[in-house]
Amino acid sequence: MRAASRPGPWKRGLLLAVLALLVGLLMLLHAKIPNRIGNLGSLVETFLPWFGLFIPVLSAGALRRRSASAVVALLLPVMVWLNLFGGLLGDKSRPGGDLMVISHNVDTGHPDPVAVARDLAGSGADMLALVELSAQTLGTFEKGLAEAYPYHTVQGTVGLWSRLPLSDTRQVDLKMDYGPLSDTQSAAMRMTYNRALRTTVATDQGPLAVYVAHLGSVRVNPRAGFWTAQRNRGAQALAEAIAAEQNERVMLLGDLNGTMDDRAFADLTSQLRSAQVVAGDGFGFSWPAKFPMVRIDQILVRGVEPLSSWVLPATGSDHLPVAAEISW
């Protein structure tokens, strides 16, 4: 009697089936999630790949319950996740390259900048884009990188070291909000928050416009939700600067404090391609260094071809360095 009264496989696990459908719809319709309440849409998009972890959990539950309805419902999140991120699972790198670049947030409070400079100098890169430089560490990096990189420029807390000549360097205004400050405080704050530059690198194939940027930080708190105002203004300012760029070859390096799935970067990703997406192996997560969960350190390009992209070993910073080989 008990066996006869037990629900059939299509009626068992209906809650699991509903949850599977909800996960699938959330990933499928993430662009429809509004940002009006705590930037919820951007928060979901920041961690969008991780919603795939619900799939094995729900699969285990479906198998345990022997639920045919849950198994069928799981096809939706599986297909959506593979459509969104399946292309990142394989190794798309190719040999060769004309230019190797590294982007790294060196961490203002790093306890051993000498070691970081030594590691970067021995990396073999043609260009190093460094952010979170401080008055205390700048001299260390300038000294440690001088022999390997005869050309460099620093604007505020961001800098570019290069084996090739640089010219036409200027600050890029990220529209940071300084608040009500005195004239003295404002000048000091503007120096601290000068977090983007544009320069021209002279190559054998012609000029390459390089942007180095460190966008504003983001915060998650119960009252404001996902606070991204400073970052979003900076992303828009960068997008406008790159849209006005006359050089057909452009590269953007730096800590953008966001993933390229986040809608806040739509105006940038419509103009530039991610080296990790085009030529990487895996997701290339770069932060936090101890357990990387998101790719917020970026190498974006236009007019050149990424051949490979990878994440370098930890340097003691809270970010991992990211690298790419670029071909003309």
Domains assigned to the chain: 2-88 (no CATH), 99-327 (3.60.10.10)
Give the SS3 label for residue 92.
coil
Q: Name the phi and psi angles at 229, rounded to 5.
A: -60, -50
Q: Name the least confident of 20-34, 51-65, 223-237.
A: 223-237
Looking at every residue in the chain, the average pLDDT score rounds to 93
What integer pLDDT is reported at residue 186 of this predicted model?
55
Closest Cα to residue 282, out of 93, 90, 79, 84?
Answer: 90
Q: What pLDDT sits at residue 224?
A: 73
Closest by CA to 315, choosing from 46, 128, 147, is: 128
Average pLDDT score over residue span 228-245: 96
Going by pLDDT thresholds of 50, 70 and 90, the confidence category of residue 1 is very low
User: Residues 56-70: pLDDT tens digits?
Assistant: 999 999 999 899 999
What's the DSSP call for residue 261?
T
- Backbone dihedral angles phi then psi of residue 322, each to the nearest 5 degrees: -120, 145
User: Confidence band (pLDDT; 50, 70, 90) for 184?
Assistant: low
Residue 207 has pLDDT above 70, yes or no: yes
pLDDT band at 192 (very low <50, low <70, confident <90, very high): low
DSSP state of 263: G
CA–CA gap between residue 226 and residue 302 (Å, rounded): 30
Question: Which range among 19-33, 169-183, 230-244 shows the weakest confidence by mean pLDDT?
Answer: 169-183
Q: What is the pLDDT of residues 254-279, one digit of tens each?
A: 999 999 999 999 999 999 999 999 99
Q: What is the pLDDT of residue 177?
A: 72
